[in-house]
Structure 1
């Protein structure tokens, strides 16, 4: 890209000056050196075990007994040859040491079949939190035998919420944790995200926390009374500048916190990212520890 930019700049200079322009070799060598440095930094940022990022979220009508409740969001682990068993185990150890009440995973666990990734995903079996570990599929689960992966992830102890919900309790106080399937599901012959089905039978007037891999339908969730939506999918845009392009494909949601019709949407940069574009510059990976707060 740097070389192309240099060529474009030279072309503009030729057109403006209407004569030949020679670009010194030192400039090209410098661009090549800079690209190597940026690539090395970008890959190092992409494959590291991410730090914990702390975030407080105020929730409408949150019961006092849930004030201070903590959950950890994992998303876009993309466990693969680039993010193998050793990396997954380090992530699990950091997650278990976070001291949260609940762990949630918002999809894109893998790249590869169960047979290919069985050893690499095995550390997920050791994820632990007092209120359990809940998860939803991302689009990549549909690329590699969805049914097989749902069975295998459930067998590792992850409680899957595909268009379903559960109730979290603190004595008589309750919180609805719901999940939906991915927008890519219908193209693979599976049910698409159905918030009505996910909330069927849920108690009324109870705050809803929604897990949805892709953030683009956040407006619909807000219109249906969801208090907080946790998403991933975008990897934060991976590189400053490129994130603006990624945002366009996700209704403007790419990284961080958004207020969507009174609902808080949080889009994580991702625990990892797709191995086919393993670069991060200015958009670091994260393990997101979220503290719920009641409105004063």
Structure 2
């Protein structure tokens, strides 16, 4: 490009610095999961990193087109420098849109899900599914408070949280999670842990969430009752638990002692084991973890690590599975294009067998 060498070197240094965001995060807090910079700097790193990614993809596409043109006999193409500036502008704009979509307070998404053998007393039962809030410098107390206010305004019967609530230690995030104490639902707030809880002080966080009024379900269950009808709400630990010396996911332990005549609603942070849950008789599984794949194309890579389950509703061997795109997102890659965040209000419906 026809720009002075000094400017080229300056831009190259800036790109190198931005590309090492995870290194700076580790230096700031000891963990890539908790960048402890002012929010505006975290936003800048995510925007600049996204711009680098999109520019690289555009450059690869451009090179492929140029290579194809070179293979045509007698062709001679010259590329106006304006094309390269336009590519940079497009990459920067896409990254800005992606970051905005990632950090906004999520809209409410309404979903009806049929549940086999659902007692008639629970037909029309409403629950709010929250997951992957990743409360951090990127999602501070003001964001959390707005999410809580929007959630409480829905006036649901139950709130369930499938992990990755925080990014940071309890000492770092105590004030930012405090608004969660205000979550309200008629049958309470229940939570299963995600992988980030294990990376950032599992025992301390679980005790703190309990003190805030949440009911924790690490390989445990609760029985919800309504006018004689019963629904089992179970939760399991995360696949990352054994790496930190904690018990692995154990659905059998979670259901130990549960009544045999009630449908099972399972909270499992990661959706990859859905077929095992279906085989165990679970009627509905709620998961997160994938962030919906974040951007088109990347979602196919995310699918590889989650048994193909990335976003939305799936029918899995007779079981219903819903994978939430996430209420927030990991601050190390806060980017969403076509995969919006969500506060998911689920209405349970009686699922009539096909032979009836």
Corresponding position: 1:221 with 2:277: yes
Q: Deviations over 1:111-135 (max 9, x none)?
A: 1110111110100100010100000
Question: Shift in Å at residue 30 of structure 1?
Answer: 1.0
What TM-score, normalized by structure 1, do the two folds share? 0.97
Which of 143, 166, 182 is residue 199 of structure 2 equivalent to? 143
Which of 63, 68, 73 is residue 7 of structure 1 equivalent to? 63
Corresponding position: 1:83 with 2:139: yes
What is residue 130 of structure 1 aligned with on the other side?
Answer: 186
What is residue 35 of structure 1 aligned with on the other side?
Answer: 91
What is residue 121 of structure 1 aligned with on the other side?
Answer: 177
Q: 1-side partners of 2:60 and 2:330: how far apart?
A: 25
Which of 296, 300, 312 is residue 256 of structure 1 equivalent to? 312
Q: 1-side partners of 2:321 and 2:73: how far apart?
A: 51
Larger mean CA deviation between 229-238 and 183-192 belongs to 183-192
Q: Secondary structure at the match of 1:95?
A: helix
Q: 2-side partners of 1:287 and 1:16: how far apart?
A: 52
Question: Shift in Å at residue 8 of structure 1?
Answer: 3.9
Corresponding position: 1:243 with 2:299: yes
Q: Secondary structure at the match of 1:121?
A: helix
What is residue 20 of structure 2 aligned with on the other side?
Answer: none
What is residue 51 of structure 2 aligned with on the other side?
Answer: none
Q: Deviations over 1:159-217 (max 9, x none)?
A: 11000000000021100000000011111111110000000000002100000000000
What TM-score, normalized by structure 2, do the two folds share? 0.81
Show structure 1 runs of 4+ deviating over 6 A.
Answer: none
> Highest Rg: 1 or 2?
2
Corresponding position: 1:56 with 2:109: no
Corresponding position: 1:200 with 2:256: yes
Corresponding position: 1:173 with 2:229: yes
Q: 1-side partners of 2:322 and 2:98: how far apart?
A: 24
- CA distance 1:173–1:30, change in 2 (3 Å): same
Q: Secondary structure at the match of 1:105?
A: strand
- CA distance 1:19–1:230, change in 2 (3 Å): same
- CA distance 1:26–1:123, change in 2 (3 Å): same
Q: 1-side partners of 2:238 and 2:77: how far apart?
A: 52
What is residue 351 of structure 2 aligned with on the other side?
Answer: 295
Q: Secondary structure at the match of 1:57?
A: strand
- Whether contact under 8 Å (1:182, 1:214) holds in the other structure is yes
What is residue 185 of structure 1 aligned with on the other side?
Answer: 241
- Whether contact under 8 Å (1:56, 1:290) holds in the other structure is yes
Unaligned runs of 5+ in 2: 1-55
Question: Shift in Å at residue 16 of structure 1?
Answer: 5.2
Q: Secondary structure at the match of 1:99?
A: coil
Which of 204, 209, 217 is residue 161 of structure 1 equivalent to? 217
Question: Shift in Å at residue 27 of structure 1?
Answer: 1.1
Unaligned runs of 5+ in 1: none
Q: 1-side partners of 2:260 and 2:244: how far apart?
A: 33
What is residue 161 of structure 2 aligned with on the other side?
Answer: 105
Q: Secondary structure at the match of 1:277?
A: coil
Aligned residues: 296
Question: Shift in Å at residue 17 of structure 1?
Answer: 5.1
Question: Shift in Å at residue 19 of structure 1?
Answer: 7.8
Q: Secondary structure at the match of 2:332?
A: helix
Corresponding position: 1:67 with 2:123: yes
